[in-house]
Amino acid sequence: TAIMEKILWRRSLQLHAQQQAWQESLEGRGILEFRQSLPAYKEKDAILTAILQNQVLIISGETGCGKTTQIPQFILESEIDFVRGAVCNIICTQPRRISAMSVSERVASERGEKLGESVGYKVRLEGMRGKETRLLFCTTGILLRRLLIDRNLKGVTHIIVDEIHERGINEDFLLIVLKDLLPRRPELKLILMSASLDAELFSSYFGGAPLIHIPGFTHPVRIHFLENILEMMGYRLTPYNQIDDYGQERMWKMSKQAPRKRKSQIASAVEDALRAADFKDFSPQTWESLSCWNPDCIGFNLIEYLLSYICENERPGAVLVFVTGWDDISSLKDKLQSHPILGDPNRVSLLTCHGFLASSEQRRGRAGRVEPGECYHLYPRCVYDAFAEYQLPEILRTPLQSLCLQIKSLKLESISEFLSRALQSPELLAVQNAVEYLKIIGALDESENLTILGRYLTMLPMEPKLGKMLILGAILNCLDPVLTVVAGLSVRDPFLTPLDKKDLAETAKLQFSRDYSDHLALVRAYEGWKEAEKDLAGYDYCWKNFLSAQSMKAIDSLRVEFLSLLKGTGLIDGNATSCNTWSYDQHLIRAIICYGLYPGICSVVPHVQHNEKSFSLKTMEDGPVLLYSNSVNARESRIPYPWLVFNEKIKVNSIFLRDSTAVSDSVLLLFGGSISRGNVDGHLKMLGGYLEFFMQPAIAEKFQSLRREFDELIQN
């Protein structure tokens, strides 16, 4: 070890010399000057001293002040200056993979290095780091996974958890684990970084840990909402409630005021778009999906109008437009370039910037950094207000099933006990429901231990029901269509139903339907799109069939991602490609869908009235339910199967099922739930309960004899 220490010492000296040479070089000096202009730099000494004196430190400061790029770098530089360069090991977590990748690249370049030298990154399925990497940017999920195999994070000297104000479920989970770890690793430093000022919650969670705030300076920014923008155009948007014939609430009314301004072509296009826009089952997410920049959507028209308005009426300056994704950015760019006023590249600022609607607050800060300005929100004030609700920490508003599995995979104590130590604990009932669900689907056994299925599910970071389908699809060798089903359930509904073309859209979907299954309809639609893409006609195909091209592309890339995840589980060959070789059997896929969606199940009750066939649906928990109007099964007069499995229930006035697939008795019997050691009996009881409840005597009897056999088996 003495030799080892000597080697490390020598290496640390080398790193120190390297760092100094860079900082003294011409380029290095230039970058240092820029870094020194960031608000975070002024707090450098205070931050380093506080880290030295405390195990936990919380740093807050508004977006752009230099938290992410500078603070990990301060720590690394100071470690190198104190000749600990070769022994320090700093991990900085990011909630999103894209930021882990881009930030590490930026920091490496600020240090005059290539990525993978002292600075690296690691995200799921990808990474760039070397033996000498001392500062690693990774996703929160990666650090959690490391904790699985290395509970004490041996050798790690600093952990920086970034963007804690977002209150992502992974970050909240990580904080519980780290809080437990701190006493076991007294020399480990934990730094939490937040873009919101109210970081006291975190401070008190960590026993009154010190807080450093990085003061910033911003100019005033005036805010306008959609109402105000429309008013400029001579329209008034007023919320009102009306129930339409589908039982949906329509929330908005457009009314014309005496036009204050000449009504431009763009203004009427916006009006048309707003009329066509479907404001039903309204939520910030729906709003976000509405304002996507498809040519038939409201978003682009509004942007176009606004930009022309701004160019004509506002003082000179730059306009920052936030768009939701890469595709949108490039399509917006194409449109703007061919625009008479907006095509002038000197006037319009296409920046790419990753973000989420809910963080608009911070983005406004970004706009106000250089000079005063205006901020136009392309959504109404009440959507903005509704964000307050969506700002609830993720752990309090999302299903806890995956989290519970993760807790179990870390071999932690009882799930509810563990979660009671969270920053803000979810309700006990929510935890109990999640645990119960995991038992029903066979991921946990009766004593809350992970089953083999559960262990595989922890390797697939997605909702357990989706993971189950992938696993069975891999085992039964018909993965290709299953990848499409699972990807389809992970994106926005690819079947679009514009309100003014509802009928046409629903008829278009029916062409893909042959087997009483929305999920199989999607598989066909996707396969058709894939064919069309070969002739570069994917977009036309989507247009004709009322499909979202964006969702199709998303499905395409998710399929690849899911396939790599499955390779990681070892269930399929590492060289496998999902294409062609694998069998496509609709009965098999139906069974796999049932395996995933159970216990989302309802019984089909056929009846004949005035010689007309029809059916009604019933679930055990909620009694009668209805089908969402764009389900292919909603158009059928009869369903030749006794059961439907479904992904989601939506409660409006009645309870509606979104996508559904019809399944037979035997499929339900064999694939409903999961028979695994320890909970077979519970599972059979549950299934038996269903059958008895819906009074299907023949099958119930068959079933009872199966149970008796099983009981005998157990007894022997």
60 touches Mg ion (CB under 5 A): no
Size, binding site for ligand ADP by CB under 6 A:
11
The minimum distance between CB 116 and ligand ADP, in angstroms, equals 17
Site string for Mg ion, 499-538 (x = CB under 5 A): ----------------------------------------
Helices marked H in 111-168: 140-149
Are 237 and 252 within 8 A, CB to CB? Answer: yes
Residues 421/415, Cβ–Cβ less than 8 Å: no
69 binds ligand ADP, rule: CB under 6 A = yes
Stretch near ligand ADP under the rule CB under 6 A, chosen from 58-66, 378-386, 403-411, 497-505: 58-66
**Which of 277, 280, 359 is closest to 324 using CA atoms?**
359
Q: Which stretch binds ligand ADP (CB under 6 A): 67-75, 377-385, 490-498, 548-556?
A: 67-75
Compare residues 40 and 482 and give the one whose CB is closer to ligand ADP.
Answer: 40
Per partner kind, with CB cut-offs from 5 to 8 A, the member of Mg ion, ligand ADP, none near residue 194 is none
Q: Which is nearer to ligand ADP, 191 or 626 (CB)?
A: 191
Q: Which is nearer to ligand ADP, 84 or 97 (CB)?
A: 97
Closest CB to Mg ion among 67 and 377? 67
User: What is the nearest approach in angstroms of Mg ion to the Cβ of residue 32?
Assistant: 20
Residue 66 as a binder of ligand ADP (CB under 6 A): the answer is yes
Q: If binding is defined by CB under 6 A, does position 115 make contact with ligand ADP?
A: no
H/E run at residue 554: helix 549-569
**Alpha carbons 652 and 150: distance in angstroms, whole number:** 47
Residue 218 makes contact with ligand ADP by CB under 6 A: no
Query: Is 365 a residue that touches ligand ADP (CB under 6 A)?
Result: no
What's the closest the beta carbon of residue 35 comes to ligand ADP, in angstroms?
8
What is the C-alpha to C-alpha distance for residues 460 and 715, in angstroms, rounded to an integer? 36
- The residue within the footprint of Mg ion, chosen from 12, 19, 68, 196 (CB under 5 A), is 68
549 φ, ψ (degrees, to nearest 5): -60, -35
| Beta-bridge mates of residue 613 | 608
Smaller CB separation from ligand ADP, 64 or 528: 64
- For residues 703, 708, 712 and 713, what is the CA-based torsion angle, rounded to 10 degrees? 10
Are 517 and 644 a contacting pair, CB within 8 Å? no
Give me the least distance between CB of 639 and ligand ADP, in Å please: 53
* Alpha-carbon span 410 to 153, nearest angstrom: 13
Q: What is the CA angle 40-45-49, rounded to 5?
A: 120
Please write down the HEC assignment for all residues of 532-548: HHHCCCHHHHHHHHCEC
d(CA 266, CA 541) in angstroms, rounded, equals: 27
CB of 119 to ligand ADP, least distance (A): 13
Rule CB under 6 A: is residue 65 a binding residue for ligand ADP?
yes
DSSP strand pairing (90-94 vs 135-139): parallel
**Of 12, 19, 60, 68, the one binding ligand ADP by CB under 6 A:** 68
Cα→Cα distances 443→415, 436, 497, 508, Å = 14, 10, 36, 38
96 makes contact with ligand ADP (CB under 6 A): no
* CB closer to ligand ADP out of 66 and 473: 66
* Residue 38 in contact with ligand ADP, rule: CB under 6 A: yes
Q: Which single residue brings its beta carbon nearest to Mg ion?
A: 68
Helix (H, G, I), strand (E, B) or coil at 262: coil
63 interacts with ligand ADP by CB under 6 A: yes
- 347 vs 369, which CB is nearer to ligand ADP? 369
12 binds ligand ADP (CB under 6 A): no
Selection from Mg ion, ligand ADP, none that 286 binds (CB < 5 to 8 A by kind) is: none
If contact means CB under 5 to 8 A according to the sort of partner, which of ligand ADP, Mg ion, none does residue 687 touch?
none
Contact pattern for ligand ADP over residues 271 through 300, marking x by CB under 6 A: ------------------------------
Which listed option, Mg ion, ligand ADP, none, makes contact with residue 378 (CB within 5 to 8 Å by class)?
Answer: none
Helix (H, G, I), strand (E, B), or coil: what is residue 32?
helix
- Rule CB under 6 A: say whether 67 interacts with ligand ADP: yes
Q: What kind and span of H or E run contains 497?
A: none
Smaller CB separation from Mg ion, 145 or 165: 165
Cα dihedral sign, 38-39-45-48: negative
Assess 133 for contact with Mg ion (CB under 5 A). no
The CA angle 191-192-195, to the nearest 5 degrees, is 140
Q: What is the DSSP string of 267-335?
A: HHHHHHHHHHS---S--HHHHHHHTS--TTSHHHHHHHHHHHHHHHHSPS---B---SSHHHHHHHHHH
Told to check if 64 binds ligand ADP by CB under 6 A, we report yes
d(CA 190, CA 157): 9
8 A C-beta contact, residue 505 and residue 620: no
Q: What distance in Å separates the CA atoms of residue 270 and residue 300, rounded to the nearest whole number?
A: 9
513 binds, among Mg ion, ligand ADP, none (CB under 5 to 8 A by kind): none
- What is the C-alpha to C-alpha distance for residues 328 and 293, in angstroms, rounded to an integer? 6
**106 is an interface residue for ligand ADP by CB under 6 A:** yes
Residue 99 C-beta: closest distance to ligand ADP, Å: 8
Does position 70 interact with ligand ADP (CB under 6 A)? The reply is yes
Residue with tokens 């977009």, as numbered in its chain:
539
The total of other beta-carbon atoms located within 10 Å of residue 608's CB is: 10
**Binding site partner of 106, from Mg ion, ligand ADP, none, Cβ cut-off 5-8 A by kind:** ligand ADP
Burial 94-104 (b: 16+ CB within 10 A, else e): bbbbebbbbbb
Residue span binding Mg ion (CB under 5 A) among the ranges 67-75, 380-388, 458-466, 495-503: 67-75
Least distance to ligand ADP, CB of residue 65, Å: 4
Contact 251, 240 (CB under 8 A): yes
Does 95 bind ligand ADP (CB under 6 A)? Our answer is: no
Give the residues lining the site for ligand ADP (CB under 6 A).
38, 61, 63-70, 106
Give the residues lining the site for Mg ion (CB under 5 A).
67-68
